A and B are shown apart, each in its own frame.
Chain A
Amino acid sequence: MIRWFVMTLIICPLLLPQSRAADWRQFRGNFTDSVAVGQSLPTELSQSVVIWQSALPGRGLSGPIIVGDQVVITASSGYYDDRLHIISLDAATGLQVWERRFQATGRTSTHPTMCVATPTPASDGERIYAFYSSNDLVCTDMEGNLQWYRGLGEEFPNASNSLGMSSSPIVIGATVIAQAESEAESFVIGVETSSGETKWILDRPRKSNWSSPTVLPTEGGRSALALLQSAAGLTAVDPDTGTILWSYQDEASRIPSSTVSDGMIIMPSSSNGLTILQPSTDGTSYTLIRSARNARPARPSPLVADGKIYSVNSSGVLSAASFDTGKRLWQMRLDGQFSSTPLASNGHLFFFSESGMATVVRPTEETGTIVSQLDLTEKIQCSPAVANHALYIRSDAHLWKFAKRD
């Protein structure tokens, strides 16, 4: 674990040149691992730690991101769900700073449980990159001024899924990486962050895929890599050139995404359960460590914290396994079903069920104990964000900020 912290400190400036340590800039955080380090979050959840609750102008499975003093979130609205919103809120007050609305240029059909604003936006601290199920990729500056607009739904007219698309973009260096995979057409694109121009495009397996790219930090001054997951396995890609460095052939899950922790890749595999790969320090090769067939996360991505791997199955059962050995340590049943990837911070785990139940669990080597629960009474399918000792979560209708009172 110490190695992970050291590597984080080394990589952080390379990955995000203007990184603010307190920001949460993309799906599952800056390192796409859902771990919030050095944050003091409230563990006794109640209305007393709700700092604010803001109404949103549309639906969304996308999570919030936090850049400086702004909380940025996307939403979609309209009868055909074709109105695309980017909303910036003041992190201190929850009041809207600005909102921009665009019209989807690609398909907007989704399953009723999904919507067009399903991918979480990303930021590099200078710009916001909002991606939607319609494959519209929109870049604004931090004041909402449009910087560039890619109608990828027009450029790749068959790269859609009638159930909806959900892959969240990531930013590595000067490249925003957006993945869109379906039975009919699939691609991943690396777009230059400042110009919106295409740096590279890769064909991807023609198979439906809702997973998101993962950041693979590397050592030795090399830029972090992008891990792309699909039914064909896991592929490591140089974000600057699109060069494929290696591919691990396995039937990877197509909903939960891979996680990187302590220099290891934890990949959810449909056939082999949670699979651990150890990349070389420069990221250019990998070694298969082991697979755990008894650990099969459903929709939430796996989470690694304090030497344990956590996964939530389709029945809402939380499993904890040893990160070093893969041995299952304990299980506990949580209330409800989960789409949201849990969050680890300061020795606690934070879960949000689809029915809106927020649950804080304190894990030990032997068991997990529910510390507190708060029923938010609204459907929640996004993953939480953390910045400046505050936790943010959204439903279709609202965005909440939780923090300890001074």
Chain B
Amino acid sequence: MFRSVLLLLAVLSPAASRLAADGPSIDVLRNVQGATGATVARAAFRTLTSVGATNLIPILEGFQGATRVGTNWLRGAFETIAATEIEAGRNLPADELTEFIQDVGNDPSARRLGYEWLLQQDETLKQRIVPDLLQDADPDFRRDAVAMLIDQAETSEGQQATELYRQALKGAVHDDQVKTIAAALESAGEPVDLQTHFGFMPEWKIVGPFDNREMKGYAVAYPPESEFDLTAVYDGQLDTVSWQNIATDDDYGIVNIAEQIENYKGSVMYAVTMFRSAAAQDVQFRLGTPNAWKLWLNGELMFEREEYHRGTQMDQYRVPVSLRSGGNTILLKICQNEDEQGWAQRYQYQLRVSDSAGAAILPSGENHD
């Protein structure tokens, strides 16, 4: 009997539930990649979901360092178990989930997943925890926190409203919310520097045009791809070319080659800028351009894309990169084709540096807001 009681206590305690968790199955799911491993993953999925609620927190813990596909396997397992528990009339482990959600050291998307399910059984959860998540690593938590502040500001007046908008701006990473806040602060006499808020890179050196007729220049490695010499003079498409300064005061950091220089049809331009990082860190380069492009960091090709005039928008491309401490050289190759339609005339780009939530990461020495 004594042994049975101990066993029961062990099963009911949070620490023990982790001991009882199916770590090997979770490991299988979190490491799934590509086409391989689905058969093994399916078996692990069945094992995990058949055991039930005991595995909920360990599954969320498994998000840390999981592959992106693996994360979705874990997500599917969590939701299957959670839905089964709710359908059976059982509560999800509220205390453990709340603790997991509030621990910012845990994976942001796992915390959000746990939150959304716990919210179904605890309507007070949002008011209790979201206000503290204004600068969270999860963009949806930020969005909720910002929305709550905007709601409060809209029912407040004067300095109180302005202060609420100031607070909201500190967490806002989504453009629609930033626009709302910026308009309110502008009305209050406090214009917002959107370029800095989002972390756009406004100052570049640019060289070109080089030949891209018949879109052949995209594949040609012109000299700026192989050497970094801002004093060099090159044979360009029309004449000799050299590096020129170009800057933009556009709120969204758009460097408009067509307007600021010329819409050279069938051409290639290279643009370079320097980002000084306070430390070695993983960030995202968020690029928007309707033109074909290649992107290098410190001489290494990060990504390239040969697509012309399929629209452009802020954060159109998110390229994960690792900055080194100190100076980092960002080189962009921007290509224009020869299409004559009205919608095929844009020749521009915008690039910002952010964390994974979309919050600006500014070069060292610059203050944010």
Contacting pair B313 A103 (CB below 8 A) = no
In angstroms, Cα B315 to Cα A109, docked, is 9
The one of B83, B311, B317 in contact with A98, judged by C-beta atoms closer than 8 angstroms, is: B83
Query: Known: A105-B69, A148-B41, A155-B34. Is A163-B310 also a contact (CB below 8 A)?
Result: yes
Query: Known: A145-B76, A198-B35. Is A103-B68 also a contact (CB below 8 A)?
Result: yes
Q: Please give me the residue from chain B that is nearest to A154 by CB atom.
A: B68
**By DSSP majority rule, is chain A's interface helix, strand, loop, or mixed?**
loop
Q: Encode A4-24 as 1/0 by CB contact (under 8 A) with B.
A: 000000000000000000000
Residues of A within 8 A of B306 (CB): 158, 183-184, 206
Contacting pair A101 B69 (CB below 8 A) = no
Q: Does A331 contact B (CB under 8 A)?
A: no
In angstroms, Cα B87 to Cα A98, docked, is 10
Min CB–CB distance A87 → chain B (angstroms): 12
Q: Does A330 contact B (CB under 8 A)?
A: no
Count of residues in B whose CB is under 8 Å from the partner chain: 41
Query: Known: A162-B310, A183-B307. Is A109-B35 also a contact (CB below 8 A)?
Result: no
Q: Does A100 contact B (CB under 8 A)?
A: yes
Residues of A within 8 A of B311 (CB): 111, 162-163
- Which residues from 177 to 207 on chain A have a C-beta closer than 8 Å to any C-beta of chain B? 182-184, 191, 195-198, 206
- Which residues from 90 to 121 on chain A have a C-beta closer than 8 Å to any C-beta of chain B? 98, 100-103, 105, 107, 109, 111
Contacting pair A162 B307 (CB below 8 A) = yes
Q: Does A146 contact B (CB under 8 A)?
A: yes
Q: In which size bucket is the chain A interface?
A: 35 or more
Residues of B within 8 A of A136 (CB): 72
Query: Known: A103-B68, A146-B73. Is A196-B79 also a contact (CB below 8 A)?
Result: no
Q: Does B49 contact A (CB under 8 A)?
A: yes
The one of B77, B176, B315, B316 in contact with A146, judged by C-beta atoms closer than 8 angstroms, is: B77
The one of B35, B45, B83 in contact with A196, judged by C-beta atoms closer than 8 angstroms, is: B35
Query: Known: A147-B42, A183-B308. Is A105-B75 also a contact (CB below 8 A)?
Result: no
Q: Please give me the residue from chain A that is nearest to B306 by CB atom.
A: A184
Residues of B within 8 A of A154 (CB): 34, 68-69
Min CB–CB distance A30 → chain B (angstroms): 26
- Which residues from 325 to 342 on chain B have a C-beta closer than 8 Å to any C-beta of chain A? none
Q: Does A404 contact B (CB under 8 A)?
A: no
Residues of B within 8 A of A206 (CB): 306
Residues of A within 8 A of B34 (CB): 150-151, 154-155
Q: Does A383 contact B (CB under 8 A)?
A: no
Contacting pair A78 B140 (CB below 8 A) = yes
Residues of B within 8 A of A157 (CB): 303
Contacting pair A103 B75 (CB below 8 A) = yes
Contacting pair B308 A149 (CB below 8 A) = no
Q: Encode A304-328 as 1/0 by CB contact (under 8 A) with B.
A: 0000000000000000000000000
Q: Does B208 contact A (CB under 8 A)?
A: no
Residues of B within 8 A of A161 (CB): 307, 310
In angstroms, Cα B49 to Cα A184, docked, is 40
Q: List 24 A-B contacts (CB under 8 A).
A: A78-B140, A100-B80, A102-B72, A105-B68, A105-B69, A107-B317, A144-B80, A145-B46, A146-B72, A146-B73, A147-B42, A148-B38, A149-B38, A149-B76, A162-B290, A162-B307, A162-B310, A162-B316, A163-B310, A182-B307, A184-B306, A191-B35, A195-B38, A208-B310
Interface residues of B, Cβ cutoff 8 Å to A: 32, 34-36, 38-39, 41-42, 45-46, 49, 68-69, 71-73, 75-77, 79-80, 83, 109, 139-140, 143, 174, 176, 290, 303, 305-308, 310-313, 315-317
